[in-house]
Amino acid sequence: MNAEELKKLVRNVPDFPNEGIMFKDLTTVFIRHDCLEWISEELYNLYKDCGITKIVGIESRGFIMAANLAIKLNAGFVPVRKKGKLPAKCREITYQKEYGKDTIQIHMDALNEDDVVLIHDDLLATGGTMAAAVNLVKKFNVKKIYVNFIAELDYLKGRSNFDNNIEVTSLIHY
C-alpha cells in the first residue's frame, strides 16, 4: 500500500451532502485492513518523535484513526463532538461551516497546559471544522498543536485557516 493506491480507493459520491459537491468517502478505505494498517504506520512514523500526549479526534470519522494512533503513541484520546453529545462540563465554540453554523465541544478536563496535542480528522476540505477545533484546543493553553488529515482537497485551500506555527500534514492530496 502507498499513498497513490490509497487515493484510488477513496470513493467519489456526487451531490452529497448537497448538489454540486463531490464527496470524498473514506469508508471504502476504512473497510480494508491493509489500508488501516498503512495509515496507522504512516501516522505513527510522522508523530512518534513529537512528544504527543493527547490525540484529539473530530466527530465522527476522525475518531477512527485518532484512537488507534493514541494507542500506538502511548497518548490519551480526546473526542471533540457536536453540542450536546458529551456528558460532563464542556468548553465549546460555534463556527461557520460550508452549509451553516455548527457548535463543537470538548470536556473541560480533557487537556491542560502540559499537553502536546495532535488533532486528527479524516479529510481537509475548507477547514472550518478543524479551525474551530484548533481554536477550542488553544483555550487550554497547551504546549503545542499538530493537525493531521488522511486526505486533503488542496484546491479548497483549507490550510489557509491555520497559523504558521501549526504543522499541518495530510497523507494524500487531491
Task: Tell me if residue 61 is catalytic.
Answer: yes
Is residue 21 in a domain?
no
Which one of the listed residues 11, 41, 61, 91 is annotated catalytic? 61
C-alpha cell at 2: 502507498
Is residue 65 in a domain?
yes
What CATH number does the domain containing 136 carry?
A: 3.40.50.2020
The stretch 55-75 carries a mean pLDDT of 97
| CB burial string 1-32: b at 16+ within 10 A, e below | beeeebeebbeeeeeeeeeeeebbebeebbee
Residue 18 has what pLDDT? Answer: 86
Which one of the listed residues 59, 91, 98, 159 is annotated catalytic? 98
Q: Yes or no: say if 152 and 160 are a contact pair by the CB < 8 Å rule.
A: no
Q: Is the pTM of this model over 0.75?
A: yes
**Strands 22-25, 11-14: pairing kind:** antiparallel
Q: Yes or no: say if 65 and 43 are a contact pair by the CB < 8 Å rule.
A: yes
Q: What is the mean pLDDT of the chain?
A: 96
Number of domains into which the chain is organized: 1
Q: What is the pLDDT of residues 35-60, one digit of tens each?
A: 999 999 999 999 999 999 999 999 99
Is residue 34 in a domain?
no
Task: Tell me if residue 4 is catalytic.
Answer: no
Query: Percentage of residues in the chain with pLDDT exceeding 70?
Result: 99
Is residue 156 in a domain?
yes
Domain of residue 106 covers: 49-173
Q: Yes or no: say if 92 and 108 are a contact pair by the CB < 8 Å rule.
A: no
